[in-house]
Structure 1
Amino acid sequence: MPVFDEPVYTVNVLENSPINTLVIDLNATDPDEGTNGEVVYSFINFVSNLTKQMFKIDPKTGVITVNGVLDHEELHIHEIDVQAKDLGPNSIPAHCKVIVNVIDINDNAPEIKLLSENSEMVEVSENAPLGYVIALVRVSDNDSGANGKVQCRLQGNVPFRLNEFESFSTLLVDGRLDREQRDMYNLTILAEDSGYPPLRSSKSFAVKVTDLEHHHHHH
């Protein structure tokens, strides 16, 4: 009967690898001669449908190749159960398991969400003190590891700043606001992940300086 060298093989394949990328070249050796020594390779039926779509095996050579779009975010480990069977009359198949780790590449840009009462326009009173929080910013990135680690900054020289925490940032007042001098700011937040190469995104929004005390001005 045919035998595999190992019961389990573990291989790494980059997500988004092109079709026909080699995953592994399996080899079950069979000492018999003639048709009894001819080995046919196949996936075993209980391999999941997704895995079956992602890989194919050459029945004659035992070469497994990529056959779909591997996505680390969708599934980062595929387990493929393989059998090798010789063509003899009462052949006993050999089995092995191939564990494919789908390695994350940096293919997701950061997403910036502005959490304020009105997502396109933030309002702040001109009397807001330094450090007053006017909005929360949540940045997410679906990649893992460094590819999903994001840094944020506020562009330009404005009387506001970002304070970064673990999973969100706060946007706060960082200067004196005077509605008579300027009643509208266009702010842009830039987010960049730590992948190689990094992916960036930006979000722009308006901050309107309001005069909440206008009835006090005319004594």
Structure 2
Amino acid sequence: SVRVPEDVPVGSIVVIVTATDADEGMNGHVKYSLHKISYQESEIFQLDSERGEISLKGELDFEEISSHELEVQAHDGGELFDTAKVLITVMDVNDNAPKLIVSSLLSAISEDTPLGTVVALLHVEDRDSGYNGEVQCSLDGVLPFRLDRTFEGYYRVVTSRELDREVVSEYNVTVRAAD
């Protein structure tokens, strides 16, 4: 069993399987092979048949597959073999930016709009897990609006001060989402 960050470079050795054989000569020479491997895992992992090194030939992606179970066989020069299961757990790294989606937006509001009026509804998500997927949202600049968090990942942009069209007739509101 081994734990590997998802950003390990292609070509890296993730684990080495070793087997010994007490026989001498050709009967004691051990070769390794992957047994019962899925097509997807065959695109990600490769095994050096002489050294037992399992390395990456493709990229790991925690969000796609968080663990892999490989079956490795060690064959001697005769017809004997043994099998071991190798569990590779992929650890999440912060490799996905948060995505902010505006689900509802008022393009125009009256200057006599009461405080607390909802101007926009937002949803933010991050494919990373745990701490890496925690997102904080904020408004850029000094504006007569504030962000109210309603549920996990959902926000409302609401008026926080009186609006005066003669002073400012238009606002460009920028919401920043950072993980």
> TM-score band, normalised by the shorter chain?
over 0.9
Amino acid paired to 1:17: V
Structure 1 CA distance, aligned partners of 2:65 and 2:163? 49
Q: Is the Cα–Cα contact under 8 Å of residues 105 and 143 in structure 1 kept in the other structure?
A: yes
Q: Which residue of 2 aligns with 1:127?
A: 112
Structure 2 CA distance, aligned partners of 1:11 and 1:130? 55
Structure 1 CA distance, aligned partners of 2:46 and 2:178? 37
Runs of 4+ off more than 3 Å:
none
The reply to whether residue 95 of structure 1 matches residue 83 of structure 2 is yes
Amino acid paired to 1:106: N
Structure 1 CA distance, aligned partners of 2:102 and 2:137? 13
Match of 1:113 among 101, 121, 129: 101
The reply to whether residue 12 of structure 1 matches residue 3 of structure 2 is yes
**How far off its partner does 1:181 sit?**
2.3
**How far off its partner does 1:14 sit?**
1.2
Q: Which residue of 1 aligns with 2:173?
A: 187
**How far off its partner does 1:28 sit?**
1.0
Match of 2:38 among 27, 33, 48: 48
Question: How many residues are paired up?
Answer: 178
| Greater Cα radius of gyration, structure 1 or 2 | 1
**1:36-90 C-alpha deviation (Å, 9 max, x unpaired):** 111110001x2111111111111011111111111111111111111111111xx
Amino acid paired to 1:188: T
Any unmatched runs of 5+ in structure 1?
A: 1-9, 194-219
Matches within 5 A, 1:1-219: 10-44=1-35, 46-88=36-78, 91-117=79-105, 122-165=107-150, 166-193=152-179
**How far off its partner does 1:94 sit?**
0.4
Calculate the aligned-residue CA RMSD, in Å. Answer: 1.3
Amino acid paired to 1:111: K
TM-score between the two structures when normalised by the length of structure 1: 0.78
**How far off its partner does 1:182 sit?**
1.9
Amino acid paired to 1:155: D
**How far off its partner does 1:169 sit?**
0.7
Structure 2 CA distance, aligned partners of 1:20 and 1:77? 18
TM-score between the two structures when normalised by the length of structure 2: 0.94
Deviates more, 1:76-85 or 1:122-131: 122-131
